[in-house]
Amino acid sequence: METMSCPWSGFKPGHLDFCEAKLCAWIVKPAETWSNMAFVVVGLYIIYLARKENRPHLLPIGIVAQFLGIFSGLYHATGTFVGEWLDISSMILFTGTGIVYNLRRLFLIPKQKMVTIFATLMVVSMALIYYFEKLGVVLFGVQFIGCAFMELYLFSKAPVKADYFYFKAMVLTFLGAWIVWWLDITKIWCNPDNHIFTGHAFWHVATSFTFLFVYRFFTQFKELEPGAAVK
C-alpha cells in the first residue's frame, strides 16, 4: 500500500486509522467510503422536506449532511490528511449549525449575526484542525457536548416544555453509533478484510439519521423562523 505505485501514496496520510484494511486502489477503503452515501440520501430527503413544508430556515441541515457525505467519502476513499481535514471540518459544520440555531433560540439574534458567528466558528475550527492535526475529533466532541448543554439550559428555562422525542432519538442513536465507532477504531470488533460493511460503515449509516432527527426536533421552534422578532 505504501509503494509509490499506489494512487494516494504520494500524499500525506490521515491520522485516524479504522479497522478496514487499506487497498492499493483509487478507493482505499470501500466499505467506509460507500456508506457515506447515507448522508447524501438523508440530506436530500431533508432538503425535500424543508421545501415541501416551507421551512427554508432548516435547509442548512440537509445541505450540511450533503457536505459531510461528500467530504467523509473523500477521506475514506483516499486516506489522506487533506481528506481527513475536510471530513472533520464537515462534522463541525453539523455542530456549528446546532450552536447557531440554539443561540437564535436563546437570544433571537438576527440572521446576519447567525451567519457571522457560524463563519467565525468554522474558520477558527478548521484552522485549529489543520495546524493541530490530532485535535479534530476532540474539538468535534467538545462542540457536540456544548450543544447538548445549551439544550439542557433551554429546557430548564422554557416556560412551555418542547417535545424532546426526536432529541432523545438523536442522542441515543449517536451514542450507540459512537460505541461501535470505538469498537472499530480500537480493533475490538474488527475484520480488516471486510470491504462490504464494517463498524465504521455502521457509524456512517446510523449517524446519518441524526440529521433527520435534528430537523424534526427543530421544526417545533417558531423563534427559528425568518419572521420571528429579533433583538
Residue 57: strand, helix, or coil: helix
CA torsion 8→79→123→143, rounded to 10°?
Answer: 180
With bands split at pLDDT 50, 70 and 90, how would you rate the model's confidence at 230?
low
In the chain, where the domains are located: 30-224
Q: Which three cell numbers, joined as nine digits, stand for 193? A: 478484510
pLDDT digits 0-9 by tens, 28-80: 999 999 999 999 999 999 999 999 999 999 999 999 999 999 999 999 999 99
Cβ neighbors of 6 (< 8 A, separation 6 or more) are 24, 25
Secondary structure letter of residue 192 according to DSSP? T
The answer to pTM > 0.85 is yes
Residue 9: strand, helix, or coil: coil
pLDDT digits 0-9 by tens, 5-20: 899 999 999 999 999 9
